[in-house]
């Protein structure tokens, strides 16, 4: 009897926690389709006016495209910069280099994005590197902010599959360095790169502080515009928030499906 009660209790608890996380999302979804509210903040008339306004006001619509360009480019750049660096750190025998790399790559996690933004403005705001006002300065900032995630997940992946021994095995089979990298190292760290990319994408797509500081007028990102909408167009704000949730969700689902599909392919071979 006692254990039954405990089971019920723990199930309730889990349900409560799930609700705690889902409630704000549900609230946004509902609000985004609401035209009129009563005095308790509950909808009395539903409608698509928020979405309609979002679509009709070019500045908001454009900001979605800006963010949808910036996020994948940030992910791509993060992969290009961080993955080789992570591999170099992993393969290095110098403990000093490892600890220095660990510290440097973790700095963005401890630093307010605002501070980084000021740094970027100072570095790329004057000649010879004038990047301010373009999307590239935002991308640079986002690469820095998402580097720790990529670094950690790729490094963990390298360690889990014992890449050092795999590389030695490839060399003992007379593979050169390039062949080893392309056929052995890279294919086996794809899961780490994918989960790093997922975090990079959401970091970039949802980042506000830095984008607000450096993006300029022409390339304001989606979160920046959500903030603006929140001060002027309440309905647009809800619509945009729900769009943000959908974009992240879609991206997440695509990744999950592509990962499970590659696993299914393996399992099919047995059957």
Partner 1 sequence: MSEIKLENLSKKFGNVTAVDNVCLTVKEGEFITLLGPSGCGKTTLLRLIAGFEQPSSGCIRFDEAIVNEVPVEKRNFGMVFQSYALFPNMNVEKNIAFGLKIAGFTAGQIRERVKEVLGLVKLDGYEKRVPKQLSGGQMQRIALVRAIAPRPKILLLDEPLSALDAKIRVHLRTEIKRIQKKLSITTVYVTHDQEEALAISDRVVVMNCGRIQQIGTPVQIYNSPVNTFVANFVGSANLLKVRVRNRKCLTQNGLELAVSEIEGLQENEEAMLSIRPEFINLVDQNTTGTENTFAGVVKEIEYLGSVTRVKAQCGSESLMIDLKGEQIDLLPENHSVTIQIPAQKIKLLRIDNTLDAT
Which residues bind to partner 1, rule: CB under 8 A?
Answer: 161-162, 165-166, 168-176, 179, 183-184, 187-188, 266, 269-270
Question: Cβ 179 to partner 1, closest distance in Å?
Answer: 7
DSSP E strand stretches across the chain = 34-37, 43-46
CA dist list (Å): 57 to 229, 246, 271: 11, 20, 54
Residues 6+ apart with CB under 8 A from 31: 43, 238
Question: Cβ 160 to partner 1, closest distance in Å?
Answer: 10
In terms of CB distance, is 2 or 268 closer to partner 1?
268
In terms of CB distance, is 195 or 203 closer to partner 1?
195
Helices (H) and strands (E) in the chain, counts: 12, 2
46 phi, psi to nearest 5 deg: -95, 160
Residue ranges in 33-134 assigned as alpha helix (H): 49-56, 58-91, 95-110, 113-124
In terms of CB distance, is 81 or 167 closer to partner 1?
167
Question: Cβ 138 to partner 1, closest distance in Å?
Answer: 35
Q: Which of 200, 164, 166 is nearest to 78 (CA)?
A: 200
Tell me the angle at which helices 49-56 and 58-91 cross, rounded to the nearest 10 degrees.
80
Question: Cβ 249 to partner 1, closest distance in Å?
Answer: 29
In terms of CB distance, is 119 or 191 closer to partner 1?
191
Question: Cβ 195 to partner 1, closest distance in Å?
Answer: 17
In terms of CB distance, is 42 or 269 closer to partner 1?
269
In terms of CB distance, is 166 or 199 closer to partner 1?
166
The whole-angstrom separation of Cα 132 and Cα 129 is 9
The whole-angstrom separation of Cα 53 and Cα 129 is 38
Question: Cβ 238 to partner 1, closest distance in Å?
Answer: 45
In terms of CB distance, is 38 or 165 closer to partner 1?
165
Question: Cβ 76 to partner 1, closest distance in Å?
Answer: 22
Which residue bears the tokens 């992946």?
157
């Amino acid at each position: 009897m006692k254990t039954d009660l405990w089971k019920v209790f723990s199930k309730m608890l889990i349900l409560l926690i799930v609700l705690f996380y889902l409630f704000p999302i549900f609230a946004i979804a509902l609000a985004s389709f609401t035209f009129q509210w009563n005095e308790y903040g509950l909808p009395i008339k539903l409608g698509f006016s928020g979405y309609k306004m979002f679509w009709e006001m070019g500045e908001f619509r454009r900001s979605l495209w800006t963010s949808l360009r910036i996020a994948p480019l940030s992910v791509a750049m993060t992969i290009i910069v961080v993955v080789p660096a992570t591999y170099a750190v992993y393969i290095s025998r110098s403990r000093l280099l490892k600890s220095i790399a660990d510290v440097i790559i973790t700095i963005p996690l401890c630093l307010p994005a605002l501070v980084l933004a000021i740094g970027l403005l100072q570095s790329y705001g004057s000649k010879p590197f004038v990047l301010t006002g373009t999307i590239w300065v935002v991308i640079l900032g986002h690469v820095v902010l998402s580097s720790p995630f990529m670094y950690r997940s790729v490094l963990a992946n390298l360690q889990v599959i014992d890449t050092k021994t795999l590389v030695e095995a490839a060399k003992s089979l007379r593979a050169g360095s390039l062949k080893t990298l392309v056929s052995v190292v890279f294919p086996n760290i794809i899961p780490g790169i994918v989960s790093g990319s997922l975090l990079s994408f959401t970091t970039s797509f949802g980042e506000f502080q830095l984008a607000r500081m450096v993006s300029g007028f022409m390339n304001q990102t989606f979160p920046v515009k959500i903030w603006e909408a929140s001060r002027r167009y309440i309905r647009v704000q809800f619509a945009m928030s729900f769009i943000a949730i959908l974009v992240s969700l879609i991206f997440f689902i695509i990744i999950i499906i592509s990962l499970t599909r590659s696993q299914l392919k393996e399992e099919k071979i047995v059957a």
